[in-house]
Amino acid sequence: MKLLIGLLTAALAAPVLNPAPALAPVPCRNPPAPGQPLPAGAPRDPMIARLGLERAWELSTGAGVTVAVVDSGVDGDQPKLRGALAAGYDYLGSQTPPGWQRIAGGLGDCGDNGASHGTAVAALIAARPSDDDRVIGVAPAATIAPVRFVDGIDNAAPEMLANAIRTGADMGQVLNLSFAVPVDRQPIRDAVQYALSRNVVVVAAAGNESSNGTEKFYPAAYPGVLAVAALKQDGTPLAQSNRGDWVGIAAPGEALTAPVSGGGYAGVSGTSFATALVSGTAALVRSRYPAMPAAEVVNRLTSTAVPLGATHDDRVGAGIIDPFAALTALGPPAPGPRPSGSAAAPPAAAGKVRVLPRPDAGGGVGERWGALLGIVGILVLAAVLAYLGRLSWRAARNRRTAPARQAPADDPLDPPDISLA
């Protein structure tokens, strides 16, 4: 309770830098269906305990860090994101060269197929406690800079997508890319390299094509990018999550409770949303160690992940993200403040980090995965998410006019080239 009061006080007291402009959003061609209210009897999101976020928030809440979300836009009226949004940009098609234009914006979710994609991603990263502490983002004091594709990311040419990535890299210290392209496009490759050259932590979704490892998906597979796979509630890989030796880390990605467009909530699944949890953790680390290079932030996240096997695995990379361990690890000397007690510890091997013991026994992410899966709260939440998912699916279905193949709101149809992951 003291922590939540502190978070609320800090959110109210902290000035909002670069507030989003008070402009009417450019209308979407297919606005998403609104979310549903969180039932009064729903328990607190078990993700908070599963990832050890209460303990992590004692060290960092992401204050001072901006996460650029290149996606379908963010609903600025979602209560859990009020005060969290910086000024962003819209990308939309144009009849004049280069075939698209960039304007101030970013507000309003243009997610396709009834899915509120960008808002859910942004909220999983930085949702505020507001008046309901049952659902909170991983980095509840971080700022979100939205970069929106008004006509849908599936209609974005590689040059347009590349320019949006560059825009995001200019605005944030962390760049969330929750989409997947099955082809190595040179403009996108160059844009990612630009972001890395600006010391930005680039986090990208592995994608949901159920690949067996023979294919690569971009920008996740580019060198220097932290590629994120998704896990089921039991800790095993999500079947749709792409695999490959380019996968760097994994995070929960099944039946997550996310604030969405229209002010409500929905159950969401996929690597897009696992990526948001990793981006939020990167924001926690960048806030605690503001001078730490982006490559060392990525090393902390992977070196402190909880492994699911003896070695690096092409389904889950280094293992499950562990925010507290990433914040308290000992490693090679890095600029900026160091965790308490690190000066007296023996040096770690170059390129690796060593984790401080937790002050409370049995508090690790690994133990939580086993313990929490058996409690009644998980079963209750699963029922709630199923209820929300059915309502979202019905709302999305009713909004469609063409007799196309239908999909639930948390499982968008994959366009032929670029897909929201």
Catalytic residues: 71, 117, 272
Query: Which candidate, 115, 34, 35, places its Cα nearest to that of 413?
Result: 115
Contact 163, 194 (CB under 8 A): no
Asked whether the beta carbons of 336 and 18 are under 8 A apart, the reply is no
Q: Report how far residue 303's alpha carbon sits from residue 294's, in angstroms, rounded to the nearest whole number.
A: 14
- Contact of 174 with 286, CB cutoff 8 Å: yes
Tokens of 106: 């970013």
Amino acid at 81: L
For the chain, percent helix, then strand, then coil, each to nearest 5?
A: 30, 15, 50
Angle between helices 271-288 and 294-303 (to 10 degrees): 120
Strand partners, 149: 91
Q: Which of 105, 111, 120, 48 is nearest to 264 (CA)?
A: 120
Q: Which residue from 373, 284, 279, 358 is spatially nearest to 71, judged by alpha carbons?
A: 279
Site of tokens 């939540």: 4
Give yes or no for a contact between 67 and 118, defined as CB atoms under 8 angstroms apart: no
Per DSSP, the residues of 194-244 read HHHHTT-EEEEE--SS---SSS--BTTTSTT-EEEEEE-TTSSBPTTS---
DSSP string, 373-396: TTSHHHHHHHHHHHHHHHHHHHHH
Sheet strand arrangement including 201-205 = 100-105, 88-93, 143-149, 66-71, 174-177, 201-205, 226-231, 249-252
